[in-house]
């Protein structure tokens, strides 16, 4: 009989301990998991060098050495995967949900579930569209419209004496903030400058492979065009690959002018070599920025609801090796 009582007690103690390991109300500001802060990060995918640098920045910040456990889910550019990841994070009772939304629309239900579960949501990189901004704690990322405007301002100066300008436009993922802002910038430029015309526009999904495919098609359809406006470096690499094969001249030495975004290390290398004419920075180093926000929340402070990252732009005619060496991504 005594044996049974002892076994029963052991069982109760073990069950109680196991249950408490997943209990968010442990009284610690760091939540559960042996004092680690648990961050669930839903990443868009691995479509570009920029994205890889962004993932690296998150991994380097949110590791056990720094007091964090990171649960990273790669959504492979699919919104449904991101929604599933957010729901998994809620079920796992993470301390913070961080996510880089693949597109702007369609997040309210999942975010309302996070809010009801009391989990702060920090949005990074791209933004969402919602009529209820209490569904997320804050956002940090790029001003994509400003990036587009910067590229277009350079085009306006460079081509001010041209009566006409034929533009090929390689867009990123349709519906993502990066695509919307950069496309709006170009559209506004086309409306302002009477001789400008977008002769072909298609998405290259922010990937090199699709950028190449789109440019191969363009080269078959059109004999001449003046500018290729690529909404990221990887699509620019793909477009340049296709132009190399077709022996279509481009870059600083004449022919097609190549505009790009991201200004990653490899992108700036292509810029200093005169292959890309103008490259607008999009800074992916969000890990430390998100950590600052988390620390503010832990200290009971209110982080800025929206925080834009400072970004530069690089002209092939003036870029220096120091610009490239200073690049951390
Ligand atoms: O949202 C940032 C964009 O997404 C970057 O420009 C692009 O390279 C990435 O895939």
Quick: pLDDT tens for 99-118: 999 999 999 999 999 999 99
**Is residue 191 classed as helix, strand or coil in its secondary structure?**
helix
236 CB near ligand 1 (under 6 Å) = no
- What does the alpha-carbon distance between residue 237 and residue 235 come to, in Å, rounded to a whole number? 5
Residue 244 confidence (pLDDT) above 50: yes
Give the residue, out of 42, 44, 45, with the most ligand 1 atoms within 8 A of its beta carbon, to mutate for a pocket test.
Answer: 44
pTM of the predicted protein model: 0.90
- The predicted pLDDT at position 12 comes to 41
- What does the alpha-carbon distance between residue 286 and residue 62 come to, in Å, rounded to a whole number? 11
Nearest C-alpha neighbor of 44 from the set 201, 232, 230, 186: 232
Residue 29 confidence (pLDDT) above 50: no
Residues constituting the chain: 329
Strand partners, 229: 169, 259
- The predicted pLDDT at position 25 comes to 39
Quick: pLDDT tens for 180-210: 999 999 999 999 999 999 999 999 999 999 9
Give the residue, out of 46, 51, 102, with the most ligand 1 atoms within 8 A of its beta carbon, to mutate for a pocket test.
Answer: 51
206 CB near ligand 1 (under 6 Å) = yes
Distance 37 CA to ligand 1 centre (A): 28
- The predicted pLDDT at position 89 comes to 98
232 CB near ligand 1 (under 6 Å) = yes
- The predicted pLDDT at position 189 comes to 98
- The predicted pLDDT at position 22 comes to 35
| Both structure tokens of 265 | 């290390």
- The predicted pLDDT at position 32 comes to 53
- CA angle (30 as vertex; 97, 309 as ends), nearest 5: 45
Average pLDDT, the chain: 92
Residue 320 confidence (pLDDT) above 60: yes
Quick one: average pLDDT of 287-298? 98
Quick one: average pLDDT of 122-126? 98
261 CB near ligand 1 (under 6 Å) = yes
- Looking at the chain, the whole-number percentage of residues with pLDDT higher than 70 is 90
CB 104 within 8 A of CB 130: no
- What does the alpha-carbon distance between residue 205 and residue 177 come to, in Å, rounded to a whole number? 13
CB 265 within 8 A of CB 239: no
125 CB near ligand 1 (under 6 Å) = yes
Distance 319 CA to ligand 1 centre (A): 22
Question: Of 25-34, 97-106, 116-125, 263-272, which range is least confident?
Answer: 25-34
Distance 47 CA to ligand 1 centre (A): 8
Q: What is the DSSP-derived secondary structure letter of residue 250? A: B
Residue 4 confidence (pLDDT) above 60: no
- The predicted pLDDT at position 3 comes to 52
- The predicted pLDDT at position 272 comes to 98
Quick: pLDDT tens for 78-107: 999 999 999 999 999 999 999 999 999 999
- What does the alpha-carbon distance between residue 225 and residue 165 come to, in Å, rounded to a whole number? 8
pLDDT greater at residue 6 or residue 64: 64
Sheet harboring 96-99: ordered strands across?
Answer: 68-74, 37-43, 96-99, 121-125, 138-141, 306-308
Give the residue, out of 232, 276, 311, with the most ligand 1 atoms within 8 A of its beta carbon, to mutate for a pocket test.
Answer: 232
Give the residue, out of 178, 210, 281, with the most ligand 1 atoms within 8 A of its beta carbon, to mutate for a pocket test.
Answer: 178
- Looking at the chain, the whole-number percentage of residues with pLDDT higher than 90 is 88
Residue 30 confidence (pLDDT) above 80: no
Question: Of 13-27, 51-65, 101-115, 237-251, which range is least confident?
Answer: 13-27
Q: What is the DSSP-derived secondary structure letter of residue 274? A: T
Crossing angle of helices 287-298 and 49-61, rounded to 10°: 40
């Amino acid at each position: 009989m005594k044996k049974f009582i002892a076994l029963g007690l052991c069982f109760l103690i073990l069950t109680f301990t196991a249950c408490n390991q997943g209990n968010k109300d442990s009284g610690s500001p760091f939540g559960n998991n042996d004092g680690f802060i648990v961050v669930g990060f839903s990443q868009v995918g691995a479509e570009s060098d920029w994205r890889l640098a962004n993932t690296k920045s998150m991994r380097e910040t949110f590791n056990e050495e720094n007091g964090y456990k990171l649960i990273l889910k790669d959504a492979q550019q699919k919104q449904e995967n991101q929604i599933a990841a957010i729901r998994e994070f809620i079920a796992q009772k993470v301390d913070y949900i961080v996510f880089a939304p693949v597109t702007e629309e369609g997040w309210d239900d999942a975010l309302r579930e996070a809010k009801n579960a009391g989990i702060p949501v920090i949005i990074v990189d791209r933004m969402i569209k919602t009529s209820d901004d209490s569904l997320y704690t804050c956002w940090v990322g790029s001003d994509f419209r400003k990036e587009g405007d910067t590229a277009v301002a350079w085009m306006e100066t460079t081509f001010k004496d041209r009566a006409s300008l034929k533009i090929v436009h390689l867009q990123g993922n349709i519906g993502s903030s990066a695509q919307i802002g950069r496309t709006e910038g170009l559209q506004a430029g086309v409306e302002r400058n009477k001789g400008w015309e977008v002769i072909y526009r298609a998405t290259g999904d922010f990937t090199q492979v699709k950028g190449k495919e789109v440019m191969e098609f363009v080269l078959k359809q059109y004999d001449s065009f003046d500018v290729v406006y690529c909404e990221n470096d990887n699509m620019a690499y793909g477009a340049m690959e296709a132009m190399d094969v077709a022996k279509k001249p481009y870059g600083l030495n004449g022919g097609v002018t190549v505009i790009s975004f991201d200004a990653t290390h490899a992108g700036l290398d292509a810029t200093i070599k005169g292959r890309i004419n103008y490259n607008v920075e999009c800074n992916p180093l969000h890990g430390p920025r998100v950590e600052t926000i988390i620390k503010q929340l832990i200290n009971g402070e209110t982080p800025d609801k929206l925080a834009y990252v400072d970004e530069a732009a690089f002209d092939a005619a003036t870029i220096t090796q120091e610009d490239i060496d200073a690049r951390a991504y």
